[in-house]
Amino acid sequence: MEKVLVVGTGDVGSHLLEFMARQDYRYEVIVGDIDEEKARLLCNNAEIGAAFHGKHPVFRPVKIDLLDIEGTSALIAKEKPSAVINMTVMHTWHLIRKLPQDVYAKISSGALGAWLPCQLTLAMKLAQALKDSGVKAYYINTSLSCLTNPVLGKLGLAPTIGIGNVDLVEPGVRTWIAQQAGIARSRIELIMVCHHQHWVFPREAGYLPNAPYLMKIMIDKKDVTSEWDTDKAMYEGVKLYPAGLSFTTVSASSTLKNLNALIFDENLLTHSPGPNGLPGGYPVILNAQGAKVFSPKEWTLEEAIEVNKKAGQMDGIEEIKDDGTVVFADYTYEAMKDNLGFECKSFHPDDSEKLAREQIALFKELVEKYS
Ligand SMILES: NC(=O)c1ccc[n+]([C@@H]2O[C@H](COP(=O)([O-])OP(=O)(O)OC[C@H]3O[C@@H](n4cnc5c(N)ncnc54)[C@H](O)[C@@H]3O)[C@@H](O)[C@H]2O)c1
């Protein structure tokens, strides 16, 4: 039986366990979290629920602290999983919503890229642990992969693929087109290049409009792109989702779909962010060889990368240098300095953990101030 290592049983990780438990595919799942008791109880929940569906998944909860690269690497070397999935983060995206609306809005206008140290640190440590173990496994990174995967790529630690983002936008837009046209969604195909920015722009406060993207719409295999207002479709497709956290079940489905396509060699044409460390999201083909970007005749891979780099600048990150140094956009720097007291224009990933701790400490002070 294939073995998969999932680290992180928070919001998205716990949904993933429930979906894994009820599916027809079978593999052994090692489920790690720094909070072993939480992992154990969530594994129990998923296993018990699966019994109603006649499924008996094999879940094995373990304690993993990703800050301990050596310990994680030893576990990977011992277990030799076929795939490793990062579902951890030091400070998740929705925590800023705890703040009063006006304070949230000001910090949100710096974009999620502002929190890159918190999003990058654990994903990077797991990537390093996997590399050090010598085990060849697919690495799926859920942590803001439009922006973290390209940093990891510069460090020689590129994940195979990310999840969500474009893989939330694309099915939303496809569903909206089906609803507008009054036809079955199965008749519609979309090919899309877009960024996490396009997901958050309609949902969160203060994001900039007009981030570039590429899109091709086909109905019954015929190109009908010119018949649609694609800007409207991008916006309304995202607006189909409820506000709040409900969408993270879709993120978990995106993860499971990518995992199965890789380990069961499905040669699946789908969408996902950060293939092999590229910035932003693309149409990709997933099979046993890993992830490969699919480009239709309408655009080249180079054009798609440029589009995603520009969109990334509207998600807080001006540039990722060749040594992995991350340069924040000016408006991001200002928003974090003025509203959180976090003063940092650029950082090297070596300083990521220290800066993440600083961001978390400053955030706690802010929450206390307003509570
Ligand atoms: N692309 C998408 O569609 C999408 C959607 C939602 C969330 N995300 C991303 O997924 C990631 C997880 O988000 P979430 O909301 O589920 O987070 P969460 O805070 O709910 O869960 C994080 C988990 O990580 C664990 N953890 C923290 N430090 C650890 C350590 N040192 N070692 C091992 N485990 C540790 C925590 O105990 C927790 O269970 C984030 O990066 C988030 O931005 C992506």
Query: Would you write out the chain's pLDDT as a tens digit for each of its 371 residues?
Result: 889 999 999 999 999 999 999 999 999 999 999 999 999 999 999 999 999 999 999 999 999 999 999 999 999 999 999 999 999 999 999 999 999 999 999 999 999 999 999 999 999 999 999 999 999 999 999 999 999 999 999 999 999 999 999 999 999 999 999 999 999 999 999 999 999 999 999 999 999 999 999 999 999 999 999 999 999 999 999 999 999 999 999 999 999 999 999 999 999 999 999 999 999 999 999 999 999 999 999 999 999 999 999 999 999 999 999 999 999 999 999 999 999 999 999 999 999 999 999 999 999 999 999 98
Ligand 1 pocket, residue 13 CB under 6 Å: yes
Angstrom distance (rounded) from CA 261 to CA 269: 9
pLDDT at 1: 84
Domain presence at residue 72: yes
What is the identity of the amino acid at 198?
H
Ligand 1 pocket, residue 12 CB under 6 Å: yes
Contact 249, 15 (CB under 8 A): yes
For the sheet containing 138-141, what is the strand order? 58-63, 28-33, 3-7, 83-86, 138-141
Contact 132, 334 (CB under 8 A): no
How would you write the chain as a 3-class SS string?
Answer: CCEEEEECCCHHHHHHHHHHHHCCCCCEEEEEECCHHHHHHHHHHHHHHHHCCCCCCEEEEEECCCCCHHHHHHHHHHHCCCEEEECCCCCCHHHHHHCCHHHHHHHHCCCHHHHHHHHHHHHHHHHHHHHHHCCCCEEEECCCHHHHHHHHHHCCCCCCECCCCHHHHHHHHHHHHHHHHCCCHHHEEEEEEECHHHHHCCCCCCCCCCCCCEEEEEECCEECHHHCCHHHHHHHHHHCCCCCCCCHHHHHHHHHHHHHHHHCCCCEEEEEECHHHCCCEEEEEEECCEEEECCCCCCCHHHHHHHHHHHHHCCCEEEECCCCCEEECHHHHHHHHHHHCCCCCEECHHHHHHHHHHHHHHHHHHHHHHC
Count of domains for the chain: 1
pLDDT at 360: 98
User: For tokens 């040669």, what's the residue?
Assistant: 267
Contact 305, 278 (CB under 8 A): yes
Angstrom distance (rounded) from CA 335 to CA 341: 9
CA of 93 to the centre of ligand 1 (A): 9
Ligand 1 pocket, residue 133 CB under 6 Å: no
CA of 303 to the centre of ligand 1 (A): 32
CA of 163 to the centre of ligand 1 (A): 13
Angstrom distance (rounded) from CA 11 to CA 278: 26
> Which residues form the domain of 139?
3-162
Ligand 1 pocket, residue 251 CB under 6 Å: yes
Which is the closest atom of ligand 1 to the Cα of 168? 3
The enclosing domain of 150 has a CATH number of 3.40.50.720
Angstrom distance (rounded) from CA 89 to CA 291: 24
Say whether pTM exceeds 0.95.
yes
Ligand 1 pocket, residue 88 CB under 6 Å: yes
Domain presence at residue 207: no
**Rg (Cα) of the chain, in Å, rounded?**
20
Domain presence at residue 38: yes
Give the largest Cα separation in the chain, rounded. 57
Which is the closest atom of ligand 1 to the Cα of 250? 3
**Cα distances (Å, whole numbers) of residue 94 to 30, 98, 158, 200, 271:** 27, 8, 26, 11, 24
Return phi, psi of residue 281, to 5°.
Answer: -115, 150
Count of beta carbons in the 10 Å neighbourhood of residue 244: 10
Ligand 1 pocket, residue 33 CB under 6 Å: yes
Domain presence at residue 19: yes
pLDDT at 356: 98
Domain presence at residue 74: yes
pLDDT at 72: 98
Domain presence at residue 82: yes
Domain presence at residue 358: no
Question: Nearest 10 degrees: CA dihedral of 30, 34, 36, 37?
Answer: -140
Domain presence at residue 173: no
Residue nearest to atom 21 of ligand 1 (CA): 10
Contact 270, 169 (CB under 8 A): no
